Amino acid sequence: MLVHMAFHRDVKPEKEAEMIESMKRFGRAMVGNPGFRQTYSLKDPKTRALVGLAIWDSQEALAAARPAMSKALEGVDFSRLEDSAPEVYLFEIEWASGELHNSE
């Protein structure tokens, strides 16, 4: 399994709600794609950084879903929402425990 994470550390405070909405649209575009497991929009209460986290069965599943995910962000001008590009990481899961939960 694979974890995809995008750290948005420099979101403009007045654009936070708009950024979160774009993250939700991106996440909703993942739903229903083969190999998709779970997605989260996270916020660090101390730094106010936003993090998108998604869990996939494989890198191939993520790649196959990319067109739908990109389409969900058409028209979003991220330079208006944040002052720097997000840091994006892919991690392979070496070990995990617990359950994944579904909720809106």
Q: What is the pLDDT of residues 89-100, one digit of tens each?
A: 999 999 888 876
Q: Which two tokens stand for residue 60?
A: 């191939």
Residue 4 in this model has a pLDDT that exceeds 90: yes
The tokens describing 7, both together, are 């750290």
**What is the CATH architecture of 2-92?**
2-Layer Sandwich (3.30)
Whether the full predicted model's pTM is greater than 0.85, yes or no, is: yes
- Using alpha carbons only, give the angle 32, 66, 27 rounded to the nearest 5 degrees: 55
Question: What pLDDT is attached to residue 66?
Answer: 97
- Structural domain boundaries of the chain? 2-92
